[in-house]
């Protein structure tokens, strides 16, 4: 019986003899065996997790080692400085630009007025506007939650409403209208800024009382275009606004008188290049028209003189001139002062 009850841990519990050991002894050894098995399973699981982590780390390290490392050829151990604004990687030792077009992978906090988010993470308020009396440092009323915050159509009544003066509110509306008109005819930002300054001067002088702000803004835009050397016609300004050509012309004269300023005279040459570009006409057509007009006037120019200024070969001008010559009588305006009649123009 002694050899029968050797009681090793390696022997299955089911082989224990109930007669040799009591019921309590079997329960005790059974619990000990279960604890032993549970401990072994925990050790195996821990080894599996540690082994997997080590394998992943070794694999990622090998991949990183395989990637080419950007270094300075003169100072390979130097830590490069990344200029994300210029997109360059610069060596701090010698200033050599080692890499360019670096992509900034950081967060770009941009928000727009139609975003659903009620908070702007990039700033605590709008940027200052020096054209307004208080610098546009006004209070913004956020989106309400109650029924009184919405109108009969369900739209928010007080969202984005500002506590600003009536004069600043009128100028803000005019500035928005000016920006909209400028965008429609692809005018640069400097034209918009000059127009805003002109409108502010006229508005503060109160010299055009009784005139609509939209008409004043349209006339200011027309003046700004001429002052900046990119003139637009009254019809073009009228097409992007809701104001008639006659009203814009009246405001234009009143503004020049009120501000005691003037604008340069415009000629057809100011519009020729842009109109030909909009019509997808090549440059040689413009040069051929200039050559024909010069030959009909007292200020005659040769093909070579025009070609040298415009960068077009005189042969190209001659070929285009031959194409438009048959229609010469229809091309000149009725008030053109001819020095050489149309029938006496050179036939190339």
pLDDT digits (tens, 9 = 90+) for 198-210: 999 999 888 888 8
Beta bridge partners of 99: 89
Residue 243 CA: distances (Å) to CA of 43, 194, 317? 85, 20, 41
Q: Are 284 and 320 in contact (CB under 8 A)?
A: yes
pLDDT at 10 (0 to 100): 45
Q: Mean per-residue pLDDT for 10-36?
A: 57
Name the 3-class secondary structure at 26: helix
**Local confidence band at 3 (pLDDT 50, 70, 90 cut-offs):** very low
Using a pLDDT cut of 70, give the percent of the chain over it: 67
pLDDT at 218 (0 to 100): 93
Q: How far apart are CA 105 and CA 112, in angstroms?
A: 21
Burial category of 117 from C-beta neighbours within 10 Å (exposed 0-12, middle 13-18, buried 19 and up) = exposed
**Local confidence band at 197 (pLDDT 50, 70, 90 cut-offs):** very high
pLDDT at 139 (0 to 100): 58
Q: What is the pLDDT of residues 223-251, one digit of tens each?
A: 999 998 888 889 889 999 888 999 999 99
**Residue 120: what are its φ and ψ, rounded to 5°?**
-100, 110
pLDDT at 87 (0 to 100): 74
Beta bridge partners of 90: 81, 97
Of residues 48 and 23, more confidence is placed in 48
Sign of the CA dihedral 149, 154, 157, 160? positive
pLDDT at 104 (0 to 100): 62
Helical residues (DSSP H) of 151-260, grouped into ranges? 166-184, 189-205, 213-227, 234-239, 245-259
Q: What is the DSSP letter of 341?
A: -
pLDDT at 172 (0 to 100): 87
- List all residues 6 or more positions away from 342 whose beta carbon is below 8 Å from its beta carbon: 296, 328, 329, 332
> Tokens in use for 35?
């604890």
Long-range residue pairs from 177-181, CB within 8 A, at least 24 positions apart, any chain: 177/213, 177/214, 177/217, 177/241, 178/217, 178/220, 178/221, 180/240, 181/217, 181/218, 181/221, 181/237, 181/240, 181/241
pTM confidence score: 0.51
Q: What is the DSSP letter of 109?
A: -
> Tokens in use for 325?
């010559």
Asked whether the predicted pLDDT for residue 157 surpasses 80, the reply is: no
**Local confidence band at 22 (pLDDT 50, 70, 90 cut-offs):** low
User: How much is the mean pLDDT over the chain?
Assistant: 76
């Amino acid at each position: 019986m002694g050899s029968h009850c050797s009681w090793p841990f390696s022997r299955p519990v089911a082989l224990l003899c109930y007669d040799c050991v009591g019921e309590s002894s079997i329960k005790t050894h059974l619990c000990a065996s279960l604890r032993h098995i549970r401990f072994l399973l925990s050790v195996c699981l821990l080894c599996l997790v540690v082994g997997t982590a080590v394998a992943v780390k070794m694999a990622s390290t090998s991949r990183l080692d395989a990637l080419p490392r950007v270094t300075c050829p003169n100072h390979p151990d130097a830590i490069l400085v990344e200029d994300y604004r210029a997109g360059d990687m610069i060596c701090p030792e010698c200033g050599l630009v080692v890499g360019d077009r670096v992509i900034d992978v950081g967060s770009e906090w941009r928000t727009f007025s139609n975003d659903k988010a009620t908070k702007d993470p990039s700033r605590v308020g709008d940027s200052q506007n020096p054209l307004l009396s208080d610098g546009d440092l006004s209070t913004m009323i956020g989106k309400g939650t109650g029924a009184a915050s919405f109108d009969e159509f369900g739209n928010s009544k007080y969202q984005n409403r500002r506590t600003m003066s009536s004069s600043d509110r009128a100028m803000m509306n005019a500035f928005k209208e000016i920006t909209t008109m400028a965008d429609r005819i692809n005018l640069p930002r400097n034209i918009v800024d000059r127009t805003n300054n002109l409108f502010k001067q006229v508005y503060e002088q109160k010299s055009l009382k009784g005139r609509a702000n939209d008409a004043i803004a349209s006339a200011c835009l027309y003046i700004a275009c001429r002052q900046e050397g990119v003139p637009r016609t009254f019809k073009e300004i009228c097409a992007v606004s809701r104001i008639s050509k006659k009203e814009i012309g009246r405001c234009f004269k009143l503004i020049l008188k009120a501000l005691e300023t003037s604008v340069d005279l415009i000629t057809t040459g100011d519009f020729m290049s842009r109109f030909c570009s909009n019509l997808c006409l090549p440059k040689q057509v413009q040069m051929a028209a200039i050559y024909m007009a010069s030959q009909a006037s007292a200020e005659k120019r040769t093909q070579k003189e025009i070609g040298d200024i415009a960068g077009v070969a005189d042969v190209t001008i001659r070929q285009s001139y031959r194409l438009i010559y048959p229609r010469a009588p229809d091309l000149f305006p009725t008030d053109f002062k001819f020095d050489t009649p149309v029938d006496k123009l050179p036939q190339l």
